[in-house]
Every structure is written in structure tokens, then in C-alpha cells.
Structure 1
Amino acid sequence: MSKNPGASIPTTKTARQARVTALLTSRAVRSQAELATLLADDGLVVGQATLSRDLVELRAVRVRGEDGGLIYAVPREGGDRSVHSVSSQELLDTRLVRLCGELLVTAEASGNIVVLRTPPGAANFLALAIDHSVMPSILGTLAGDDTVMIITRDSLGGAAVAERFLQFAAESGAGG
């Protein structure tokens, strides 16, 4: 049974590799067996040979974790293979707050949809920062040129998420 209720992960290679990447960037995974178990928890049963090929295609390597043990890591923006630790997650969240202060023009909600407006050309940049942050209330984002649409998990959660982004903008102190 999936630990992510309501989640539906197709059994395609692309979806599986996206889930592998998400797992490797969100936690320390020490072995292929551990990774296979995590995938099985999400309803994706994968053989060892398939998992090995996925790791090669994703350019995953084993690096030293914070405790000195070897863990899998995949390249992120700029080829960085450092592990997402609490401190690096805090940096990502700090970046999101800063970007909201610099780029957020408006935030409005309707039901479980939030629409963020940015200057022209900035929506993808903000959406990427949102996607890399850990906000369990967010199901996903879509970005255009100057608009980011966010879908929340809660059918009435849009207003709270929109308010949170407005608070991020206010917290940043940017735009003076």
C-alpha cells in the first residue's frame, strides 16, 4: 500500500525514474534494496536489474552522507551531487522566501488552486523553487511566462497556501 494516499504513479520508466530521483534527493538511501523497498511502498515493484539501469541512466553515484556512510545521490541543478540535508533544505526554503520577495506580484486562490503572478519571464524560475521546496500541502505546479498555478492537496487549501506565499514575500524584506 502506498504511503502517499491518493497518489497514482504510472508504471512507466519516466515516472519510475522521477520517483527514484525524488527519493534520492529527499532522504539518505544506502542501498538498491532500500530503494526498491521505498519504491514498493509507493506501489512500484522494480527488479534489481531495472533499478541498476535506472541509477546508471540517472547518473546516480554513491557519495558520503553526513554520517560518513555511502548513500546514493543524483545530480541537481549545475551538476551538484551534494546530499539534501536539513541544512540544504533550509537553504532551498530560504531561497523560496527570497524569490517570493523579488518575484511575487500577486497570490490568489480558488478552492485548491493558487495563482501566483510574477514579472514576465519569471514564472518558471519561481515554480522550480516551489518544486524543490518541501511543502506537503502542494500537489504540484504549472508555470507559464508570468503565472504559476499551484494545486493543493486539500480541496479547500488554496487560500492558506496563497496566504503563505504572501507571507514569504513580506518576510523577505525585498523589493524596497
Structure 2
Amino acid sequence: MTEAQQNGSQAVPQTRTARHRRIVDILGRQPVRSQSQLAKLLADDGLSVTQATLSRDLDELGAVKIRTNDGELIYAVPSEGGFRTPQAPLGESVKEERMRRLAAELLISAEASANLVVVRTPPGAAQFLASAMDQAEVHDILGTIAGDDTVVLISRDPAGGQKLADHLLRLAQGEA
């Protein structure tokens, strides 16, 4: 597999853009202390890179080393959406709480059909809510597509739309 590596059931192209996205994902999910550690994590995902390429990628992404609360130095990249201060990875409880808060504030309705959920939000809020859903890394969600006031969620389970819609509605009501 030279042009695309298999990552589970997902094909990952061997492109600079795909590599950058994967680096950002890794740095956002777990503390990475060195380039060699990052290279190993990328290799585990089927992306083989040289140290020179990795160094260039980190520079292009604006990655810096930051000190965590416990004094460790780890790589971090600026967040998307204009917040340019590099942050340490968010813990699972922080992601869940953020998802709960945003669902309560932004979710107007959630309607399921087979493996899809159509989520309605106030105008301009769909991409913000979809981004929070993506960052929350809910295993049942295969992906999100956002417009201005609508998010389409795709469930991994062919009949999982209703389960996802119910979960989102419970989050919005503070029950989950």
C-alpha cells in the first residue's frame, strides 16, 4: 500500500495534508514529548516519516513545546477556529462537559433516519457544534457534516441514528 494505508477500515492517503491532519489529531489527544515518539505514533497509523519531514511538518503547523500543569514539556499546536494559543490535550471529562454544555445551548432538535441524525441549531452555530462533536470523539459517530444551522451525523451502526439522536437530546436536557 503506497498511496493509501489502511487504518482499521479507513484508508489514509500518504499526502502532506493527511499527515498534518494526523499529527494535529495525535497532539490533540495525547501528550507527545519528542519527535521520535510522534514518529512512532504516526508509524503505528501507517504513516512513515523521516525526522527531517516531521520537523518540517511541526514547523509548518506552528507546533511548540509547552509545559503542562505537572511540569512536563509536550508538543502542542494552535487550535482551529482562530484560537492561536497552543493548548495541552483536553481530558475526556472536559470534552464530555463541553459537549454537554454546547448541546444544551445550541441543540434545537435531533431527528434520526437509519444511520443518520439531522441536528438543527440556531443560525451560524452548526459548525461550532459539529466541531465539538468531532473533538468529543464519540465512538458511535463516524463523521459530521455541518452547514449554517444543520449538522448531519453519520452513525457507525447502520441502524444507530435513533440511539445517537436520543443521546444528544439527553445531553441537551442534562440527563446524560
TM over 0.5: yes
Shift in Å at residue 120 of structure 1?
A: 2.1
Equivalent of 1:101, from 104, 112, 130? Answer: 104
Amino acid at match of 1:148: V
Among 72, 85, 88, which residue is 1:83 paired with? Answer: 88
For residues 10-57 of structure 1, what are the alpha-carbon distances to aligned partners after superposition, in whole Å with 9 as ceiling and x for unaligned?
A: 111111100100000100111111111111111111111111110000
Give the SS at the match of 1:167.
Answer: helix
**Within the alignment, does 1:31 sit opposite 2:11 as a pair?**
no
The reply on whether 1:121 has 2:124 as its aligned counterpart is yes
Q: How does 1:1-176 map to 2 (within 5 A)?
A: 4-77=7-80, 78-86=83-91, 89-171=92-174
Q: Percent of counterpart pairs with the same letter?
A: 51
Structure with the higher strand share, 1 or 2:
2
Residues 8-17 or 70-79, more deviating: 70-79
Shift of 1:82: 2.4
SS in 1 for 2:48: coil
Aligned partner letter, 1:76: S
Q: Is the 8 A contact 1:28 1:72 kept in 2?
A: yes
Which whole-Å CA distance do the structure 2 matches of 1:54 and 1:128 have between them? 23
Q: Mind listing any 5+ residue stretches in structure 1 that lack a counterpart?
A: none
- Name stretches of at least 5 consecutive residues in structure 2 with no aligned partner: none
SS of equivalent to 2:46? coil
CA distance in 2, matches of 1:80, 1:151: 31
Is the 1:39–1:45 Cα contact (8 Å) retained in structure 2? yes
Give the TM-score of the pair, scaled to structure 2: 0.87
TM-score (norm 1): 0.87
- Residues 83-126 of structure 1: per-residue CA shift (max 9 Å, x gap): 1142xx43332222122112211112222221101122221121
Give the root-mean-square deviation of aligned CA atoms.
1.9
Shift of 1:80: 2.7
What is the identity, as a one-letter code, of the residue corresponding to 1:84? P
Q: For the Cα contact (< 8 Å) 2:100–2:174, is it kept in 1?
A: yes
Change (3 A) 1:106 1:127: same
